Amino acid sequence: MLHYKKIEEGIFLVKSDVNFPWKCNGIVAQTQGGENILIDCNFTAKEIDSLLQKMGPRVAAYFASHVHMDHVNNIKNYETLGIKIYCPIPEDRYLLHIDTFLRENGAADYGLLDQFKFFVANIAHFRELNSVSGFAPGMKFTFGEFVIETIPLPGHSPGHTAFAIRDLTNHRRNVLFASDIGLDPVGAWYGFKYNHMKDLRASIARIEAIYNHEDFILTSGHGPIYFEKQYGVFQEIRDKIEHTKQRLLALFDPKTPRGLGDVTLKGVFYRKETVQDLDETFRGLHNFWEGAALSNLIEELEQEEKLIAWGEQKWVLKEPAPEAPYGR
C-alpha cells in the first residue's frame, strides 16, 4: 500500500509499506493540466496501478535520481506502461546493461559478481530497460507550470541527482528533493568503488548552499519533510562521516599494519548486530559494501596524513611528532 504526504498543493511524498528493506521515498508533482511528474517512485506493479488510479493515468515523465537498487529495482514496470524514463548520465547505461553497473561499482573486485547478480535479478527483481533518456545533471525541464531543475550531486554515485521543483506561477513554495545525500538516520552512503569522498563532500556543500539561499521545503529519498528551514541538517551529515572516520582510525596503531579485512564488519560502518546473523550471501555483500566505504575513508585519511601505507593494502597510524622539550 502507498501512503501520501502532502508537501505542497499538487506535490506529494509517496511511501510504500511493502516488506522489502531496499526502498525509497518518491515524489509526485501534478500540473494544473493533470499531468504527473514522477521522481523515484520505485513501486511494484500493483502499487503503480494504485498510484495512477489516485493521481490520474497521464504521466509526463519519470525521473530516476540514480541507479541503486532501492531506487530502480521496479523501474521496468514504468517502461511496460509506455512511460518515458529519464536517468542521469552516466548511469543511464546501467539501466540498459546492469553488468556495467556491477563492473564499475567494484563487485567483481571483491569476487562477488555472481552473488551481486543473483541479488539484483532474484531478490531485487531488477530487469533491464530497452530504452532510457539520459540527461546531464544540471539540465532543466518544464512541464506545465513546473520547472524541474536537476542538480548534480556526485559522490553517492557518479550521476546522483537532486531535484528542485519550482512553480512558474509562484503559487507554491519551492520543493527540494535531495535524493540520497544523507538526510536520514544512517547518513551518507559511499560503499561502492566509484564513490569518492571529495565529490561527496563537495556535493553536500553544494546542496547546502542551494537550500540555505532560497525558501525550500526540503525532503529526500529516505528522510523526513522539513517545512521550516533547518540550517544544521547538512552539518549532521558531515558529523556522521567524521564519527565513522574516528571509529575507523581507532582500529589502527603505529606498530601493527592492518588491512581492510582487519577492520571490516567490526562495527565501524555497520553495527555488529546488523551483520552477525546474516547468511553467507548477505554477509559477503555487506563485507563488500562496508569494505568499499572504509577504503574510501582510508584514502581520505592517507591524504590527511593520519594513516600511512605499509606494504600492499595495509596501513599504520602515523605517530605524532614528539613534543619539544621545555627550555633549551
Out of 178, 203, 234, pick the residue that ends a domain: 234
Q: Are 38 and 54 in contact (CB under 8 A)?
A: no
Residue labelled with grid coordinates 564513490: 195
Rounded to 5 degrees, what are φ and ψ at 187?
90, -160
Cell numbers representing residue 114 in the block: 555472481
Q: How confident is the model at residue 198 (pLDDT cuts 50, 70, 90)?
A: very high
Assess if residue 109 is contained within a domain. yes
Assess if residue 121 is contained within a domain. yes
Q: How far is CA 152 from CA 115, 162, 206, in A?
A: 31, 7, 9
Q: How many degrees, rounded to 5, is the angle at CA 24 between CA 22 and CA 26? A: 155
Q: How far apart (Å, rounded) are the C-alpha atoms in residues 111 and 36?
A: 42
Q: Are residues 272 and 167 in the same domain?
A: no
Per-residue model confidence (pLDDT) at position 57:
94
Q: How many domains does the chain have?
A: 2
* CB atoms closer than 10 angstroms to residue 325: 6
Q: Are 283 and 263 in contact (CB under 8 A)?
A: no
Q: Are residues 303 and 275 in the same domain?
A: yes
Model pLDDT for residues 227-286, shown as the tens digit of each residue: 999 999 999 999 999 999 999 999 999 999 999 999 999 999 998 888 888 888 888 889
Per-residue model confidence (pLDDT) at position 311:
85
Per-residue model confidence (pLDDT) at position 134:
98
Assess if residue 325 is contained within a domain. no
Sequence-distant (≥ 6) Cβ neighbours of residue 126 within 8 angstroms: 69, 72, 73, 75, 76, 98, 120
Q: Are residues 26 and 51 in the same domain?
A: yes
Model pLDDT for residues 77-118, shown as the tens digit of each residue: 999 999 999 999 999 999 999 999 999 999 988 889 999 999
Q: How far is CA 255 from the centre of its chain?
A: 37
Assess if residue 286 is contained within a domain. yes
Out of 182, 206, 234, pick the residue that ends a domain: 234
Assess if residue 245 is contained within a domain. no
Q: How far is CA 191 from CA 62, 86, 206, in A?
A: 26, 24, 21
Q: How confident is the model at residue 328 (pLDDT cuts 50, 70, 90)?
A: very low
Global pTM reads 0.94
User: What integer is the mean pLDDT of 10-21?
Assistant: 93
Q: Report which of residues 176 and 171 the model is more confident about.
A: 176
User: What integer is the mean pLDDT of 15-37?
Assistant: 94
User: What integer is the mean pLDDT of 56-63?
Assistant: 96
Q: Are residues 225 and 293 in the same domain?
A: no
Q: Are residues 73 and 192 in the same domain?
A: yes
Assess if residue 58 is contained within a domain. yes
- Which residues constitute the domain of residue 65? 2-234
Out of 182, 209, 234, pick the residue that ends a domain: 234
Cell numbers representing residue 153 in the block: 550531486
Q: Are residues 222 and 275 in the same domain?
A: no
Assess if residue 72 is contained within a domain. yes
User: What integer is the mean pLDDT of 299-323?
Assistant: 89
